[in-house]
């Protein structure tokens, strides 16, 4: 996500999951992180979700962020499992050991744009 920080935006890569029922992106961050401090000042952000492998496609948008400390206990394990496959891995254990210091971030999109270059790109041959 990108958030205004004075004259320049601050960009922070975050793990995310999508809640199709509520139409929101779910992320988590530490309560004392810089991104949490910036969100407290201004809950508006820009975001992008894109593939690093061809054919390039993705979605970007603008969103309002709602913060919920209590919900992090449910969302953090889901994010860890999604990105690491197991909450018992070293990083997963460490993150869960401080779950009471984490915040759930709910990005509610107010504008979205998507792109897909699949039709314009030729297949990429493995190196």
Encode pLDDT of 65-121 as tens digits: 999 999 999 999 999 999 998 777 788 899 999 999 999 999 999 999 999 987 777
How does residue 126 score in pLDDT terms, banded at 50, 70 and 90?
A: low
**Sheet of strand 102-116, all strands in order from the earlier edge strand to the far edge:** 8-11, 2-5, 44-50, 57-68, 102-116, 24-30, 17-19
Q: What is the pLDDT of residue 127?
A: 66
Please indicate, yes or no, if residue 15 is contained in any of the structural domains.
yes
Task: Please tell me the total count of domains within the chain.
Answer: 1
Res. 44: pLDDT tops 80: yes
Quote the pTM value.
0.89
* Mean pLDDT to the nearest integer, 27-47: 97
In a domain, 121, yes or no: no
Distance, CA of 113 to CA of 40 (rounded, Å): 26
Q: Quick check: is 97 in a domain?
A: yes
CATH number of the CATH domain containing 30: 2.30.110.10
Report CA-CA distances (Å) from 22 to 18, 19, 31, 59, 106: 9, 6, 24, 18, 10
Peptide bond into 78 cis (omega under 30): no
> In terms of residue numbers, what domain contains 70?
2-116
pLDDT at 8 over 80: yes
């Amino acid at each position: 996500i990108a958030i205004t920080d004075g004259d320049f935006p601050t960009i922070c890569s975050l793990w995310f999951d999508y809640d199709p029922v509520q139409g929101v992106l779910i992320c988590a961050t530490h309560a004392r992180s810089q991104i949490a401090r910036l969100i407290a000042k201004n809950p508006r952000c820009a975001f992008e979700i894109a593939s690093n492998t061809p054919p390039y496609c993705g979605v970007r948008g603008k969103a309002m962020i709602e913060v919920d400390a209590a919900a992090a206990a449910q969302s953090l394990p889901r994010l860890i499992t999604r990105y690491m496959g197991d909450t018992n891995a070293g990083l997963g254990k460490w993150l869960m050991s401080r779950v009471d210091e984490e915040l759930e971030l709910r990005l509610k999109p107010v504008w979205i744009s998507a792109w897909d270059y699949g039709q314009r790109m030729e297949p990429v041959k493995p190196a």
